[in-house]
Chains A and B, each alone.
Chain A
């Protein structure tokens, strides 16, 4: 089966076993936050849970590492205002 999540309100599909980051990248989303200093876009960098560039709000919980959280059906991804 394929999961369906939402990213900033838009549907994003994920295969079981994919991380949140992998699903976002596979659907063409390369950045999902901006830095607090310069407002630069950030997405996936180290891909293995170390750099924290890929932080994202998942189901209202902020600062989750998209590269290590497994995708689940119905997840809401993106900033807290979506909640």
Chain B
């Protein structure tokens, strides 16, 4: 017997997904909330059992409103298809779920740029470091350098310092004035700037060396990270000892589920691929709503508002005007932030022929160069097919953005949405055992 489809399946239980599920349930809809994590909260409200996180009241408020929501934690949607009644979501380790509509809140993860030595043990994504500290209470090193760009570097550095790790330096590639003191940004989302100032103060108190206009160009070590090389805008270089390197160049959204359903995508201000939505979180695919980082990286508060708006739109609520205004405002601020924290314009200059670009398949930069210059690859798709970056376990999540940029640059242009789509489409959405596929 096939159970009756849910009114809506919400995928992802971060701020956007929790907002969507709570609001949809409040509107009387029959909701199923599916998430990879064991506990709701996503990457933002990641916490140890019984622990507390930032903006905890908001989290508790949302959690209280999930009473009527069917929750399926600890699973991943590996396939989502449209059928007569709506949508079928196939899950790892769980029976499929059907729903008449879907609100996709897949979130995002640290955007990465390949750096010589970035595959040494001890080098981690900034978000991974944060997750270890918050959820597992583990500090993955003794002396850390946090490098990349964007406001997220600050909380990671502060959390490391609080955990007793010596933070030798924070290397921010861009000038900070762009986002720490942006008056329009501050007006649009005052709490954000307050947060940033607080982190800055915490770093000062702990004497963390905060370097702006400084890029990390190499990580050195024998079998594990031992030091990093930093280069400042004026060209001066220095080497700093560190056994932990946390890297993040902004975030990039997970788009495999929106793309699987045929939702249109576009290039955002920061060069990431994002899903196209209207002012009410409707994607271009009928019955598919998208909220949170997938529509453009903008942080937890915006994601929460978008999730709520998506649910109210789906429920046909007439009371969305204020929320729509809040989302518009939040998006303006997020766009300013993205413009202020681009990846360094000349980042490919630090690559050498042997720098590993694709960690899974161990494809060095030289192979990408040969694919373009010798074999005539003129886009990211062809580079991927000829040199194999993005063909391994992570399905292009780690190197996709960088490979698209490299392929474009080797052809004398900048990456297009098509270049990025070559790495963003994934079927299945996650690696899935053959026997699970056989029984789907």
Q: A-side interface residues toward B, CB under 8 Å?
A: 15-19, 21-23, 25-26, 30-31, 35, 37-38, 40-53, 55, 67-68, 70
Contacts and interface: CB of A to CB of B under 8 A. Distances in A.
B54 to A, nearest CB: 18
B121 A17 contact: no
Nearest to B51: A17
12 contacts: A15-B136, A25-B132, A30-B122, A31-B121, A43-B122, A45-B359, A46-B125, A47-B132, A48-B109, A50-B109, A51-B398, A53-B359
Given A43-B122, A52-B393, A53-B359, 5 more contacts: A17-B136, A17-B137, A31-B224, A48-B128, A52-B431
A35 B132 contact: no
Interface in B119-145: 119-125, 127-129, 131-132, 135-140
A18 B132 CA distance: 9
Contacts of B269: none
Contacts, number: 104
B360 A30 contact: no
Interface of B: 36, 38, 43, 48-49, 109-110, 119-125, 127-129, 131-132, 135-140, 223-224, 359-362, 392-394, 397-398, 431
B362 A35 contact: yes
Please give me the 10 A-B residue pairs with the lowest Cβ-Cβ distance, nearest first.
Answer: A47-B128, A22-B136, A52-B393, A31-B121, A30-B121, A22-B138, A43-B121, A37-B362, A26-B138, A46-B125
A67 B393 CA distance: 15
B15 to A, nearest CB: 16
B248 to A, nearest CB: 11
A44 B397 contact: no
A45 B32 CA distance: 31
B36 A49 contact: yes
B393 A46 contact: no
B132 A50 contact: no
B425 to A, nearest CB: 16
A45 to B, nearest CB: 6
A83 to B, nearest CB: 19
Given A17-B49, A19-B136, A48 B121 contact: no
A68 to B, nearest CB: 8
A47 B394 contact: no
Given A47-B127, A48-B109, A41 B223 contact: yes
Contacts of A53: 359
